Amino acid sequence: MKRIPLIVGADTSVHNVLWGCEETNKRGEEIEELILRLNLNVANSSGECTFSTSRVNSIIDITLVNPSTSKSLFPRDWRVLSEESFSDHKYFTFELGEFEEEIKLTRKLKGVDWQKFTEGMDAAFISFDGSDSLKTDVDCFYDLLYLQSQLTLCGI
């Protein structure tokens, strides 16, 4: 199944702190659950009201993006415009980068000499004493793993 970037503008008519409201109401909790279940992200970033009447100002218009929306395409500089919209909903705008199809790199693991890989990792761990900070240890482990995979998987 091909993943397609998706950007949705929604008049939710609900309140949720997730997109900048001061409180979350019951329907806001339900929309938040839906957003989490569908693994969507809220692109609103300004905290400015998107809905304004003589009685109330609120943030009820949101922009949602799915995980297939790459970093380059993710809405940035999201903001509410000050110009008159002739509606109780305000105009909002955002910038998009150019679409860049993400390339997924894979390795063919058929025919890999796993014994050579294991022996190389064992030899590398002899000098690994784990006495440094966690970040340093993780970085070191990553470097060892990367080097050994290059030696074994790429036939270097």
How far is it, in rounded angstroms, from Cα 61 to Cα 14? 9
- The H or E element spanning position 46 is none
What would the pLDDT profile of 58-99 be if each residue is shown by its tens digit? 988 999 998 888 777 788 888 889 999 999 999 998 888 776
| Mean pLDDT along residues 24-30 | 94
pTM: 0.58
pLDDT averaged over the chain? 82
The pLDDT of residue 150 is 76
Over residues 44-59, the pLDDT tens digits come to 887 888 898 899 889 8
Q: How far apart are CA 2 and CA 21, in angstroms?
A: 35
Q: Which of 64, 71, 69 lies closest to 45, judged by CA?
A: 64
